């Protein structure tokens, strides 16, 4: 008897407890909740490459990309070349950081010095940013003017100043506080002020009323990390989140029917490809093998079935508008693939897998799961296609998204033969070519080609803009044919957005909240 | 848990060897055991006969026929009784082949951990003293590491795959066997027949393997049944974390893990695999319960 | 007292063993220099690599390295995280409270639900209640936890909107991850309680107590339950390891910011000092709690003191 009573009362208590957790009333003043897939590594711009969304929401750079992807002056007002190695930058007057420190030449000099100093000490994640913008020093000219001394001529210098790593920092705050503290208590000049951060509860942000473009339309925002896609979608369906990126294409029809939310499909500059890592399997050094791998994959079918027809196969090493529209992708042609492999000396063995000098053409393929639309499924389809021409994928491994972003940040350290990968836009042809340039932080394949390096060097030092298009197209055509990657397509971006939020998607897929959140009901 | 405090039950007398006729009679008497045995027999047949039983090729990727509902018939007249997955592969065929992978993982891993645990348990219980101390401390150290994290770390360094999965589960699962065998040995070595053998000057190893070993099988079999169940679940869990078998290999764990995105639009991707795992694990547990009650009811309090 | 000292000595040995394994993780593939630098080593000169090796101290004999590893670890210095740019120890300590909170909640949940239900079903065998409890037990032990978690989210989070789906912060956030994590140990404890109670109720001393006219309730609680709890106490020590390890999955599904996800990320980025720190800290917690449990065990069952 007693036990039953105990049980009953505990069940009732449990039920009551659950019942009091009634859904909170929805109101316009409820913060907008944005879901990302990983907790921030750091909010110090110089110590992370994985948190650009957040960094450029809190911080501001000298130049920025607007929502159309154009480089526009941000904190900088204007820039002038004094000679090929010296540039003069004027800073907008009257701007302040979140803590009230003025934005002036001192702040710019402090920021650029700090980057140089950290990089020299081997600290921070600055390989990419300082690899792109090769400067020696920054000097103060007057309170709102600085001089940037370059170590080599850079015709697209403004595009190299948009990287979040070079966000301007308030000197006093960042000198007085140790790096451990500022990492999770940032002060910047961006559209949102940092309020608090606790893992699991998210980064709480508040609109900055003295932002240079005016106070952002949405006042309160919380940025939360949820690693599991299925959970992110559930949050959106339940109405407890307002924005997520990376909705699986297959779910669009069903989610569109869910009340309270919509799926926004936006074009993107995120070009998907499969990186071919050099140095592990000898066959991959042979251009014919790489071309054969491209010919063996039916990209069109993948695009129509797994991307819901929202992607178009092409060689997109360079983003529009600089891209050569006449460049033809590798046609799906298994016969040609086989012929190329035969010519390269890889002939079918007893089990159908090709062999040369006793080495099997068997490769390792790493794929993420959910970092890109249907990435794991694409990997399996490709493995199947390659098998048909005698290339075996001996180990198809799924790696954690957090692991992948960290491997990417370390120039692909840990990549095996093949890896699902992507590249964001650089808004210049020179910048996009960095994907395959040997010193670049975005070249994660260890692919080095002397002819390309020569073309790239000449292009990168050419100030005569009338020659750029031809140089760009020639370089792209050469790389396309060399096939350092399996070319695929530019993926669409699918955002899940609550009905109360108005959202303007950027083609680069970045969620700079001060620019993309347009209002909340 | 210090192994010293982990007093295995000390049976006053060694259970007499059950005779086969009694085993059968008691077995038929238990409805749960019979039903479980039938379920497991079906799984076993599926695993062994997969190439003949599977109606379609479980590896054939056909994007054109992806995510078709159960009962769909394609233009060539092939029927997909449980529908197709996100790559157009036959779910039923993958389920049947999946039985094979899940059983291989579960059984091989339990064999590895069983052999290690049995040997260490025998040695540690019989010789006692320093040997016992060392083995039990190793057991404590092993237990201090959360299995899944250890498996992740090892597989991150050595790579993933069926063989590594088996190795990791096998190497981390021996402690349960070791402890229970040790407890049994501690009790048995005081038995008259062991003391007598010692008195006649028989070799230690002979005593251990000829007299003691035959008497510790019951708990080992019972532990094995529970380990097998937990190995099947562990395979699914590691698949969810992305370090299980390769995604192209059909295993119940990967099917369930892959299908989770489609809950709400394609239930046929998760429910068959989920039910297969749950029913199999359930049957193994029920059969294990029955075996335990039959072989050695005193194990009830620790397993 | 002697038992307690002996038990303490054992814990020290275990911690020592754990440190060796954690130290050894770094050497699993040979030279840790190459593991840490990865392909970055391709772009460095031989001298630079050698310099890095010397800087990290990997050129010393491994015994010396181990000694320095232990020496530093004793002061809480586990090295520096390459990714997080902060001491590895801090990376783990920051995330530890969340994992402990979740594991502790699941632990309590598994006991407060399983023991009463186990008692209930043992005191009325073969009734509907008993069958229901048995069914629950079997289900809890056979559903993979990530599936259970997703189903809970869909039901309580999306359909009923009773509970927050992910993240941490309030006690409501704990409910679903807690249940998901506790499902398996809860089922096992229920089963153990039930079978152990049934077993003891057949024992002579219980029959004697009954014959003496002691009330049934007193028999059940004072005699049977107290004795039946022993196997549970034994099992809970191991359960903790399960809870700490199993939290990786629950942390992933529910976006719970714990040590498990941190270690997973660190494993992938070869941030080995964080892996070492994490593994050691979890093992220490496990060893510490088990020491405590063993001491409780002695208190519950004084025979151990004599036999130990």
Cβ-defined contact of C142 to B145 (cutoff 8 Å): no
φ, ψ for residue C175, nearest 5 deg: -60, -60
Angle between helices C88-123 and C171-201 (to 10 degrees): 40
The arithmetic mean of pLDDT across residues B99-119, rounded, is 93
Residue linked to tokens 């003025």: A102
Q: Which of C134, C142, C236, C273 to mutate to test the interface with B (most CBs of B within 10 A)?
A: C142
What does the H/E/C string look like for chain B? CCHHHCCCCCCCCCCCCCCHHHHHHHHHHCHHHHHHHHHHHHHHHHHHHHHHHCCCCCCCCCHHHCCCCCCEECCCCCEECCCECCCCCEHHHHHHHHHHHHHHHHHHHHHHHHHHHHHHHHHHHHHCHHHHHHHHHHHHHHHHCCHHHHHHHHHHHHCCCHHHHHHHHHHHCCHHHHHHHHHHHHHHCCCHHHHHHHHCCCCHHHHHHHHHHHHCHHHHHHHHHHHHHHHHHHHHHHHHCCCCCCCCCCCHHHHHHHHHHHCCCCHHHCHHHHHHHHHHHHHHHHHHHHHHHHHCHHHHHCC
Name the minimum distance, in Å, from the CA of A374 to any CA of chain B.
9
Cβ-defined contact of C146 to B237 (cutoff 8 Å): yes
Extract the tokens encoding A502.
């108005």
DSSP strand pairing (A347-348 vs A354-356):
antiparallel
Q: Which residue of C has its CA nearest to B298?
A: C199
Q: Which residue intervals of chain A bear CATH 3.40.190.10? A: 30-42+181-267+495-520
What are the residue boundaries of the structural domains of chain C, listed by start? 90-307
Q: Which residue intervals of chain A bear CATH 3.90.76.10? A: 52-176
Extract the tokens encoding A491.
């993926």
Residue linked to tokens 């402890």: B179
Q: Does residue A31 belong to the interface with chain C, where contact is any CB pair within 8 Å?
A: no
pLDDT band at C35 (very low <50, low <70, confident <90, very high): low
Contacts of B67 in chain A (CB under 8 A): 250
Rg (CA), chain C: 24
Q: Does residue C268 belong to the interface with chain B, where contact is any CB pair within 8 Å?
A: yes
Residue linked to tokens 């229970």: B180
Contacts of C294 in chain B (CB under 8 A): 1-2, 5
Question: Can you name the residues that pair with A365 across neighbouring β-strands?
Answer: A396, A418
The arithmetic mean of pLDDT across residues B250-279, rounded, is 90
Cβ-defined contact of C158 to A237 (cutoff 8 Å): yes
Q: Which of C265, C267, C271 to mutate to test the interface with A (most CBs of A within 10 A)?
A: C265
pLDDT at C268: 67
The arithmetic mean of pLDDT across residues A310-331, rounded, is 87
With a cut of 80, say whether residue B16 has pLDDT above it. Answer: no
Residue linked to tokens 């347009």: A518
> What is Dmax (Cα atoms) for chain A?
93
Q: Please tell me which residue, A256 or B19, carries the higher pLDDT value.
A: A256
Q: Does residue C134 belong to the interface with chain B, where contact is any CB pair within 8 Å?
A: no
**What's the whole-number average pLDDT of chain C?**
82
Extract the tokens encoding A257.
């029917």
Of residues A492, A488, A484, the one with CA closest to residue A330: A488
Contacts of A414 in chain C (CB under 8 A): 38-39, 268-270
Name the minimum distance, in Å, from the CA of B238 to any CA of chain C.
9
pLDDT at A460: 87
Give the pLDDT confidence of A204-221 residue by residue, as tens digits: 999 999 999 999 999 999
Cβ-defined contact of A200 to C169 (cutoff 8 Å): yes
Residue linked to tokens 């869910």: A258
pLDDT at A481: 93
Most confident of B13-22, B259-268, C95-104: C95-104
- Long-range Cβ contact pairs of B46-54 (< 8 A, separation 24 or more): B46/B95, B46/B96, B46/B99, B46/B100, B47/B99, B47/B100, B47/B103, B47/B104, B48/B100, B50/B96, B50/B97, B50/B99, B50/B100, B53/B96, B54/B90, B54/B92, B54/B93, B54/B96, B54/B97
Q: Which of A240, A399, A498 to mutate to test the interface with C (most CBs of C within 10 A)?
A: A240
φ, ψ for residue A181, nearest 5 deg: -75, -45
pTM, whole model, 2 decimals? 0.83
**What's the whole-number average pLDDT of chain B?**
84
pLDDT at B202: 82
The arithmetic mean of pLDDT across residues B65-71, rounded, is 90
- Tell me how far CA of residue A147 lies from CA of A112, A129, A265, A311, in angstroms: 11, 19, 42, 44
* d(C-alpha A112, C-alpha C176), whole Å: 47
With a cut of 80, say whether residue B263 has pLDDT above it. Answer: yes
Contacts of B59 in chain A (CB under 8 A): 384
SS3 A33: strand
Of all residues in chain A, the percent with pLDDT exceeding 90 is 59
* E runs forming strands in A385-484: 392-399, 418-423
Q: Does residue A58 belong to the interface with chain B, where contact is any CB pair within 8 Å?
A: no
φ, ψ for residue B78, nearest 5 deg: -80, 135
* d(C-alpha C308, C-alpha C10), whole Å: 13
Of residues A91, A89, A106, A93, the one with CA closest to residue A174: A106
Q: Which chains touch B (3+ CB pairs under 8 A)?
A: A, C
* CATH number of the structural domain C90-307: 1.10.3720.10
* d(C-alpha A398, C-alpha B159), whole Å: 10
pLDDT at A11: 42
Q: Does residue A376 belong to the interface with chain B, where contact is any CB pair within 8 Å?
A: yes
pLDDT band at B33 (very low <50, low <70, confident <90, very high): confident
A4-8, A236-240, B73-77, B219-223: segment of lowest average pLDDT: A4-8
pLDDT at C133: 87
pLDDT at B104: 93
Angle between helices A334-343 and A287-296 (to 10 degrees): 160
A69-78, A421-430, C177-186: segment of lowest average pLDDT: A421-430
- The residues, any chain, with a CB within 8 Å of residue C234's CB and separated by 6 or more, are B1, B5, B6, B302, C297
Question: Looking at the predicted complex, does its ipTM rise above 0.85?
Answer: no
pLDDT at C44: 57
Cβ-defined contact of B285 to C290 (cutoff 8 Å): no
* d(C-alpha B176, C-alpha B166), whole Å: 17
The arithmetic mean of pLDDT across residues C22-33, rounded, is 70
Of all residues in chain A, the percent with pLDDT exceeding 70 is 91
Contacts of C287 in chain B (CB under 8 A): 140, 144
Residue A270: count other Cβ atoms within 10 Å of its Cβ.
21
Question: Can you name the residues that pair with A366 across neighbouring β-strands?
Answer: A397, A419
pLDDT band at A62 (very low <50, low <70, confident <90, very high): very high
DSSP strand pairing (A362-368 vs A418-423):
parallel
Contacts of A227 in chain C (CB under 8 A): 252, 255, 261
Q: Where does residue A15 rank: exposed (0-12), middle (13-18), buried (19+ CB within 10 A)? A: exposed
Q: Which of C92, C167, C263 to mutate to test the interface with A (most CBs of A within 10 A)?
A: C167
* B interface residues, A as partner, C-beta within 8 Å: 59, 61, 63-64, 66-67, 86-87, 159-161, 241-243, 246-248, 258, 260-265
In contact, B171 and B139? CB cutoff 8 Å: no
pLDDT band at A9 (very low <50, low <70, confident <90, very high): very low
The arithmetic mean of pLDDT across residues C67-95, rounded, is 86
pLDDT band at B5 (very low <50, low <70, confident <90, very high): very low
Cβ-defined contact of B278 to C139 (cutoff 8 Å): yes
The arithmetic mean of pLDDT across residues C280-304, rounded, is 78
User: Positive or negative CA dihedral for A236, A242, A246, A250?
Assistant: positive
pLDDT at A10: 47
Q: Please tell me which residue, C245 or A87, carries the higher pLDDT value.
A: A87
Q: Does residue A453 belong to the interface with chain B, where contact is any CB pair within 8 Å?
A: no
**A380: nearest CB among B64, B247, B262:** B247
Give the pLDDT confidence of C38-80 residue by residue, as tens digits: 545 544 566 767 777 777 777 788 788 888 888 888 888 888 8
Name the minimum distance, in Å, from the CA of B249 to any CA of chain A.
9
Q: Which of C149, C177, C178, C269 to mutate to test the interface with A (most CBs of A within 10 A)?
A: C269
Q: Please tell me which residue, B32 or C153, carries the higher pLDDT value.
A: C153
Of all residues in chain C, the percent with pLDDT exceeding 70 is 88
**C86: nearest CB among A7, A180, A200:** A180
> What is Dmax (Cα atoms) for chain B?
79
pLDDT band at A420 (very low <50, low <70, confident <90, very high): confident
Concatenated DSSP letters of C204-269: HHHHHHHHTT--HHHIIIIIIIHHHHHHHHHHHHHHHHHHHHHHHHHHHHHT---HHHHHHHHHHT
The arithmetic mean of pLDDT across residues B204-231, rounded, is 85
pLDDT at A13: 45
pLDDT at A21: 42
Tell me the count of A-C CB pairs closer than 8 A.
145
pLDDT band at A104 (very low <50, low <70, confident <90, very high): very high
* d(C-alpha C167, C-alpha C181), whole Å: 15
Q: Which of C165, C178, C220 to mutate to test the interface with A (most CBs of A within 10 A)?
A: C165
Chain Cα centroid distance, residue A194: 22
Contacts of A404 in chain B (CB under 8 A): none
Extract the tokens encoding A469.
């298009």
* CATH number of the structural domain A271-490: 3.10.105.10
Q: Does residue A394 belong to the interface with chain B, where contact is any CB pair within 8 Å?
A: no
Query: Which domain CATH number covers B154?
Result: 1.10.3720.10
Chain Cα centroid distance, residue B254: 17
Concatenated DSSP letters of A188-237: -SSSEEEEEEETTTEEEEEE-TT-TT-S-S--EEEEEE---HHHHHHHHH
With a cut of 60, say whether residue A123 has pLDDT above it. Answer: yes
The arithmetic mean of pLDDT across residues B223-232, rounded, is 88
Contacts of B274 in chain C (CB under 8 A): 143-144, 147
- Out of 3.40.190.10, 3.90.76.10, 3.40.50.300, 1.10.645.10, select the CATH number for domain A52-176: 3.90.76.10
Give the pLDDT confidence of B139-189 residue by residue, as tens digits: 988 888 888 888 877 776 666 778 888 988 998 889 889 988 898 888 888
pLDDT band at A180 (very low <50, low <70, confident <90, very high): confident
Q: Which fold has domain A30-42+181-267+495-520?
A: D-Maltodextrin-Binding Protein; domain 2 (3.40.190)
Of residues C94, C92, C100, C73, the one with CA closest to residue C271: C92
Rg (CA), chain B: 23
φ, ψ for residue A348, nearest 5 deg: -60, 135
Residue-number span of the structural domain to which B209 is assigned: 29-63+72-296
DSSP 8-state symbol, A328: P
Q: Does residue A60 belong to the interface with chain C, where contact is any CB pair within 8 Å?
A: no
Name the minimum distance, in Å, from the CA of B60 to any CA of chain A.
8
With a cut of 60, say whether residue A24 has pLDDT above it. Answer: no
pLDDT at A17: 42
Chain Cα centroid distance, residue A501: 24
* d(C-alpha A69, C-alpha A67), whole Å: 5
Q: Which residue intervals of chain A bear CATH 3.10.105.10? A: 271-490
pLDDT band at A503 (very low <50, low <70, confident <90, very high): very high
Alpha helix stretches (DSSP H) within A410-466: 429-433, 450-460
A272-286, A346-360, A477-491, C288-302: segment of lowest average pLDDT: C288-302
The arithmetic mean of pLDDT across residues A167-190, rounded, is 93
Q: Which residue of C has its CA nearest to B253?
A: C144
pLDDT band at A116 (very low <50, low <70, confident <90, very high): very high
Give the pLDDT confidence of A354-369 residue by residue, as tens digits: 999 999 999 999 888 7
Q: Please tell me which residue, C226 or A4, carries the higher pLDDT value.
A: C226
pLDDT at A412: 67
**Domain count along chain B:** 1
A401-410, B58-67, C21-30: segment of lowest average pLDDT: A401-410
Give the pLDDT confidence of A445-498 residue by residue, as tens digits: 889 999 999 999 999 888 888 899 999 999 999 999 999 999 999 888 899 999
Of residues A454, A353, A370, the one with CA closest to residue A404: A370
pLDDT at A227: 85
Give the pLDDT confidence of A283-312 residue by residue, as tens digits: 999 999 999 999 999 999 999 888 888 888
Q: Does residue C25 belong to the interface with chain B, where contact is any CB pair within 8 Å?
A: yes
Q: Which residue of C has its CA nearest to A203?
A: C167
- The residues, any chain, with a CB within 8 Å of residue B228's CB and separated by 6 or more, are B106, B107, B110, B284
Residue linked to tokens 């316009």: A28
**C256: nearest CB among A41, A200, A240:** A200
Is residue B20 included in any domain, yes or no? Answer: no
pLDDT at B249: 86
Of residues A68, A491, A494, A490, the one with CA closest to residue A265: A494
The residues in A 209-248 lying below 8 A from B, measured between CB atoms, are 229-230, 248
In contact, A75 and A64? CB cutoff 8 Å: no
Cβ-defined contact of B248 to A380 (cutoff 8 Å): yes
Name the minimum distance, in Å, from the CA of C34 to any CA of chain B.
12
Chain Cα centroid distance, residue A398: 20
Q: Which chains touch A (3+ CB pairs under 8 A)?
A: B, C
Q: Which chains touch C (3+ CB pairs under 8 A)?
A: A, B
The arithmetic mean of pLDDT across residues A317-327, rounded, is 84
């Amino acid at each position: 008897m007693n036990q039953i009573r105990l049980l009953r009362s505990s069940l009732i208590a449990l039920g009551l407890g659950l019942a009091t957790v009634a859904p909170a009333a929805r109101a316009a003043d409820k913060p907008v909740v944005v879901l990302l897939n990983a907790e921030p590594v750091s909010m110090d711009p110089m110590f992370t490459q994985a948190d650009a969304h957040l960094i450029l929401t809190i911080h501001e750079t000298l130049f920025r990309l607007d929502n159309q992807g154009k480089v526009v002056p941000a904190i900088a007002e204007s820039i002038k070349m004094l000679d090929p190695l010296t540039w003069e930058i004027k800073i907008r007057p009257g701007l302040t950081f979140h803590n009230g420190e003025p934005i002036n030449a001192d702040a710019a000099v402090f920021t650029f010095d700090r980057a140089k100093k950290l990089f020299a000490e081997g600290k921070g994640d600055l390989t990419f940013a300082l690899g792109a913008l090769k400067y020696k020093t920054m000097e103060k000219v007057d309170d709102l003017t600085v001089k940037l001394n370059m170590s080599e001529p850079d015709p697209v210098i403004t595009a190299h100043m948009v990287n979040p790593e070079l966000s301007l920092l308030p000197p006093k705050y960042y000198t007085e506080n140790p790096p451990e503290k500022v990492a999770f208590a940032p002060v910047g000049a961006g559209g949102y002020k940092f309020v608090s951060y606790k893992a699991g509860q998210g980064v709480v942000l508040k609109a900055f009323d003295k932002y240079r473009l005016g106070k952002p339309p949405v006042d309160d925002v919380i940025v939360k990390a949820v690693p599991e896609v299925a959970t992110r979608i559930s949050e959106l369906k339940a109405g407890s989140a307002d924005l997520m990126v990376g909705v699986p294409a297959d779910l669009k029809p069903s989610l569109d029917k869910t009340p309270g939310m919509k799926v926004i499909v936006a074009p993107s500059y995120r070009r998907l490809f499969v990186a071919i890592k050099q140095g592990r399997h000898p066959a991959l050094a042979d251009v014919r093998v790489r071309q054969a791998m491209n010919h063996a994959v039916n990209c069109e079918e993948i695009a129509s079935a797994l991307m819901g027809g929202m992607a178009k196969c092409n060689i997109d090493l360079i983003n529009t508008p600089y891209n050569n529209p006449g460049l033809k992708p590798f046609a799906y042609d298994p016969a040609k693939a086989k012929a190329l492999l035969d010519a390269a000396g890889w002939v079918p063995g007893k089990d159908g897998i090709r062999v040369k000098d006793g080495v099997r053409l068997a490769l390792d393929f790493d794929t993420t799961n959910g970092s890109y639309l249907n990435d794991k499924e694409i990997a399996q389809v490709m493995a199947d296609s390659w098998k048909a021409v005698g290339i075996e994928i001996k180990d198809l491994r799924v790696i954690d998204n957090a692991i992948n972003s960290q491997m990417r940040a370390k120039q692909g350290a840990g990549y095996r033969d093949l890896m699902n990968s992507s590249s964001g836009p650089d808004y210049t042809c020179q910048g996009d070519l960095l994907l395959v340039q040997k010193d670049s932080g975005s070249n994660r394949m260890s692919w080095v080609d002397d002819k390309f390096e020569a073309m790239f060097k000449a292009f990168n030092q050419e100030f005569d803009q009338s020659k750029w298009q031809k140089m760009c197209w020639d370089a792209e055509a050469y790389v396309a044919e060399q096939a350092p990657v399996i070319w695929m397509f530019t993926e669409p971006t699918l955002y899940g957005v609550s009905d109360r939020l108005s959202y303007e998607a950027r083609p680069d897929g970045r969620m700079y909240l001060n620019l993309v959140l347009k209002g909340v009901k | 848990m210090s192994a010293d405090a982990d007093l295995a039950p000390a049976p006053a007398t060694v259970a007499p060897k059950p005779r086969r006729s009694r085993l059968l009679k008691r077995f038929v008497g238990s409805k749960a055991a019979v039903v479980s045995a039938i379920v497991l027999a079906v799984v076993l047949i599926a695993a062994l006969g997969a190439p003949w039983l599977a109606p379609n090729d479980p590896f054939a990727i056909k994007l054109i026929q992806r995510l078709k509902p159960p009962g769909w018939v394609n233009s060539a007249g092939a029927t997909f009784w449980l529908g197709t997955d996100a790559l157009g592969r036959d779910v039923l065929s993958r389920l049947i082949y999946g039985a094979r992978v899940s059983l291989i993982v579960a059984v091989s891993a339990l064999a590895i951990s069983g052999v290690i645990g049995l040997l260490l348990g025998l040695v540690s219980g019989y010789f006692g003293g320093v040997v016992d101390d060392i083995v039990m401390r190793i057991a404590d150290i092993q237990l201090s590491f959360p299995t899944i994290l250890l498996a992740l770390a090892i597989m991150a360094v050595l790579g993933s795959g069926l063989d590594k999965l088996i190795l990791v589960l096998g190497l981390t699962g021996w402690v349960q066997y070791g402890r229970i065998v040790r407890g049994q040995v501690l009790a048995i070595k005081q038995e008259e027949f062991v003391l007598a053998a010692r008195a006649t000057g028989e070799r230690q190893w002979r005593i251990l393997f000829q007299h003691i070993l035959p008497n510790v099988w019951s708990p080992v079999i019972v532990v094995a049944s529970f380990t097998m169940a937990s190995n099947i679940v562990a395979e699914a869990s590691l698949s969810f974390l992305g370090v299980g078998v390769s995604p192209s290999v059909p295993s119940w764990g990967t099917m369930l893990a892959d299908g989770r995105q489609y809950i709400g639009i394609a239930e046929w991707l998760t429910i068959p695999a989920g039910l297969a795992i749950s029913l199999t694990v359930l049957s193994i547990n029920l059969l294990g319960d029955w075996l335990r009650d039959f072989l050695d009811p005193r194990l009830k309090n620790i397993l | 007292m002697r038992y307690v000292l002996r038990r303490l000595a054992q814990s020290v040995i275990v911690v020592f063993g754990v440190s060796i394994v954690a130290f050894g993780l770094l050497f699993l593939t040979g030279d840790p220099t190459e593991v840490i630098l990865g392909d970055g080593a391709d772009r460095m000169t031989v001298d630079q690599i050698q310099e890095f090796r010397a800087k990290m101290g990997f050129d010393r004999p491994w015994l010396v390295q181990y000694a320095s590893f232990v020496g530093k670890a004793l002061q809480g210095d586990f090295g520096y995280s390459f990714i997080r740019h902060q001491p590895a120890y801090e990376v783990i300590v920051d995330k530890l409270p969340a994992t402990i909170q979740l594991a502790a909640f699941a632990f309590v949940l598994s006991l407060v639900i399983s023991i009463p239900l186990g008692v209930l079903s043992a005191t009325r065998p073969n009734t509907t209640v008993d069958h229901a409890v048995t069914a629950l037990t079997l289900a809890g032990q056979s559903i993979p936890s990530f599936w259970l978690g997703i189903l809970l989210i869909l039901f309580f989070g999306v359909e009923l909107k009773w509970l927050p789906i992910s993240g941490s912060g309030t006690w409501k956030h704990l409910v679903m991850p807690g249940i998901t994590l506790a499902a398996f140990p809860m089922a096992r404890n229920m089963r153990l309680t039930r079978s152990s109670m049934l077993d003891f109720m057949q024992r002579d001393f219980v029959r004697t107590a009954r014959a003496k006219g002691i009330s049934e309730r007193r028999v059940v609680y004072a005699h049977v339950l107290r004795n039946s709890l022993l196997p549970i106490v034994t099992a809970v020590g191991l359960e903790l390891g399960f809870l700490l390890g199993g939290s990786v999955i629950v942390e992933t599904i529910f976006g719970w910011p714990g040590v498990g996800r941190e270690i997973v990320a660190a494993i992938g980025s070869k941030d080995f000092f964080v892996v070492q720190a994490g593994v050691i800290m979890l093992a220490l917690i496990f060893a510490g709690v088990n020491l405590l449990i063993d001491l409780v065990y002695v208190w519950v069952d004084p025979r151990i003191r004599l036999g130990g």
